[in-house]
Amino acid sequence: MSYRLFGVLLAVLIVAAIAAAPVVGADQGTKIRFGTLPVLQALPLYVAADKGLFSRAGVNVELIPFNTAADKDMALSTGSLDGCFADLVTPTVLRGNGKDIFIVATNYDTTHDRRMFGVLGKPEGKYATPLDLAGVPVAISSNSVIDYVTERLLKSAGVPPDKISMLEMKNIGLRFQMLMSGKVEAATLPEPLVSAAIAKGAGLLADDAGLAASQTVLVFSGKIIKEKPAAVKAFLKAVAEAAELVNTDPNSARPLMVQYARLPGPMQDNYPVPRFPKLHAPDKESLAGIVDWLVARKVIPKKLEYQEIVNDAMLR
């Protein structure tokens, strides 16, 4: 039996086992409005919805798509959402400014060979290493995880802090186009745009593989955690099962990845489907580094302790 056929059969068995499993004790009447973004790391959310795993776990979930993180974060902060998919920076900013939200789990990280962001030089540029970017503006979105990762990567490569220069460009699509046309010298982009840029001649100068700060997390309001903990736990159970399905048979998730992650046409058939770790609590050291960075920039007024941002009780 081929490995591919074995993987397909194993995925079928997992789905069958899920179908036979008893529904957890969540309130079937509870509806969770959960904000998402069109990114690779949100794939288990779409798989859970597509395969009916949320309803089977006993919770009614409506995934609300957003085109920009800013719109999603606004909806969460105003109470229009019960939870959302995010990076480590966003919920820390909201929590630090008095919003009643908590990180409940990490669903993706870059602690091994997984890359989420890359710092790139323009095609046919003169840049070969991060040190070549000393004094060169790098297009980013300020006070975001891309800003934080870019600064970390440049500093770790030896670029002096006073030679690190950033250029504000929040729109990711525009940032990609400006880099590829040579109208900006360098930019930090997320996957799959990093791979698309490299394929079109941009130079990869640094990436965040192995950098624990690049984590994507699941965030919920304090209100729903307090009032409907079983529903939140059921939500996490479904996401964990979806991640296992993706890991067992990655190609079965490709159509959803193409649909929701907006892969460029040439990459739709062969871009690797991400592998997902087990849901776990965020890395304490990485979160502390982000808190210190945000305080230094006066984005949040004071230092927050780990337990003020993270509530991982639903994982237990």
Q: What confidence score (pLDDT) does residue 310 get?
A: 98
Which are the contacts of 289, defined by CB distance < 8 A and separation ≥ 6? Answer: 213
How buried is 229 (Cβ within 10 angstroms: 0-12 exposed, 13-18 middle, 19+ buried)?
middle
The mean pLDDT value for 133-151 works out to: 96
How do residues 156-208 score in pLDDT, each as one tens digit? 999 999 999 999 998 999 999 999 999 999 999 999 999 999 999 999 999 99
Determine the Cα–Cα distance for residues 172 and 178; give it in Å rounded to an integer.
Answer: 10
How buried is 113 (Cβ within 10 angstroms: 0-12 exposed, 13-18 middle, 19+ buried)?
exposed
How do residues 37-93 score in pLDDT, each as one tens digit? 999 999 999 999 999 999 999 999 999 999 888 899 999 999 999 999 999 999 999
14 pLDDT more than 70: no
25 pLDDT more than 80: no
Q: What confidence score (pLDDT) does residue 12 get?
A: 38
Across the chain, mean pLDDT equals: 90
The mean pLDDT value for 239-267 works out to: 94
Amino acid identity of residue 121, one-letter, is: G
pTM listed for this prediction: 0.87
